Amino acid sequence: MGKLIYTPQDLRTLARKLDRTNNCTPCHSENVANYAMALCKVLKIRGKKKDMIIAASLIHDVGKIGIDMRIWGKEQRLSSVEWLKIKMHPIISARLVKEAGFSKEVVEAIYYHHVWFNGNGYPTNARKKGSRIPISARIIAVCDSYEAMVSVRPYRKAMIIQEAIRILRKYSAKQFDPRIVEVFIVELLKVI
Condensed to tens digits (0 to 9), the pLDDT of residues 108-163 reads 999 999 999 999 999 988 889 999 999 999 999 999 999 999 998 877 899 999 99
Which helix or strand (DSSP H or E) is residue 48 part of?
helix 47-59
Residue 1 confidence (pLDDT): 38
Domain map (residue ranges) of the chain: 8-188
The CATH label, of 2.60.120.380, 3.90.230.10, 1.10.3210.10, 3.20.20.150, for the domain at 8-188 is 1.10.3210.10
pLDDT digits (tens, 9 = 90+) for 2-46: 455 566 666 666 666 676 666 556 688 899 999 999 999 999 999
Cα gap 45→24, rounded to integer Å: 31
Which residues lie closer than 8 Å to 61 by C-beta, 6 or more apart?
A: 18, 22, 28, 29, 89, 93
Q: Residue type for 60, please?
A: H
Four-point Cα dihedral 57, 48, 109, 192, nearest 10? -50
Whether the pTM exceeds 0.75: the reply is yes
* DSSP assignment letter at 2: P
pLDDT digits (tens, 9 = 90+) for 76-91: 888 999 999 989 999 9
